[in-house]
Amino acid sequence: MATAKKAPAKTAPAAKTPATKAAAPAKKRTPNAAFMKALTPSPALAAVVGSAPLPRTEIISKLWVYIKANNLQDAANKRNINADAKLKELFGKPQVSMFELAGLIGKHVK
């Protein structure tokens, strides 16, 4: 009986060393145009962030500045935001999670 020859074992490709990773050019992230588009805030949102058109990222940033300046984060759970009179108009409820923030703001920009 003839025996079949086995194919030579393939060697694993050489693992990349930190030196080879550093040699590869780093890709620069380009901002998403949808986030950089200036949006006009509604009158209720303009009371908090101003009436000038701003990108969505800047609106969220200014909103956080307002929340921290007025000490509106819940003391027990910092992920919750307690609404004052201005924010209650935006949120529609007395307390929201920080994860809901962007979704709620989306209804107040054009």
pLDDT tens-place string over residues 49-80: 999 999 998 999 999 999 999 999 999 999 99
pTM over 0.85: no
Amino acid identity of residue 93, one-letter, is: K
CATH number of the domain that residue 62 is part of: 1.10.245.10
Interatomic CA distance for residues 65 and 82, integer angstroms: 14
Residue 60 inside a domain? The answer is yes
87 falls in which pLDDT band (50, 70, 90)? very high
The mean predicted confidence, pLDDT, of the chain is: 85
| Residue 14: how many other CB atoms lie within 10 Å | 7
30 falls in which pLDDT band (50, 70, 90)? confident
Residue 56 inside a domain? The answer is yes
Residue 22 inside a domain? The answer is no
| Pairing, β 54-55 against β 80-82 | unpaired
- The rounded radius of gyration (Å) of the Cα atoms in the chain is 26
pLDDT at 84 > cutoff 90: yes
Interatomic CA distance for residues 19 and 24, integer angstroms: 9
